[in-house]
């Protein structure tokens, strides 16, 4: 069963790009999870809640990390995929 990571992002966010690109490549290579990119600026609630905290990586409602890649938390999450 494939799990889904959601990445809260916005256009023009260089920190977001540094998280999205490697996670998308990893998802394609491993095929154990998918990546969904969500533009916080298209959702007023997300924009208010996460505003400047992006990128935020979520597994369901659980926040894995924010502001950039946390390889330790990602490795822990992958062990449970």
**Strands of 3-9's sheet in order across:** 33-39, 3-9, 56-59, 62-66
Q: Which helix (H) or strand (E) holds 34?
A: strand 33-39
For residue 60, the enclosing domain spans 3-79
- Provide the number of structural domains found in the chain: 1
pLDDT tens digits, residue range 2-19? 799 999 999 999 999 999
Using one digit for the tens of pLDDT, what is the confidence trace for 48-73? 999 999 999 999 999 999 999 999 99
Residue 13 contacts by C-beta under 8 Å, 6 or more apart in sequence? 54, 55
- Output the pTM of the full model: 0.90
For position 60, which CATH number holds?
A: 3.40.30.10
H or E element: which one contains 58? strand 56-59
């Amino acid at each position: 069963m494939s799990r889904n990571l959601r990445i809260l992002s916005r256009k023009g966010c260089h920190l977001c790009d540094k998280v999205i690109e490697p996670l998308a490549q990893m998802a394609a290579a491993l095929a154990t999870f998918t990546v969904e990119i969500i533009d916080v600026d298209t959702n007023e609630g997300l924009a208010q809640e996460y505003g400047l905290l992006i990128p935020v990586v979520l597994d369901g409602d659980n926040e894995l990390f924010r502001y950039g890649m946390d390889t330790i938390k990602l490795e822990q999450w992958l062990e449970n995929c």
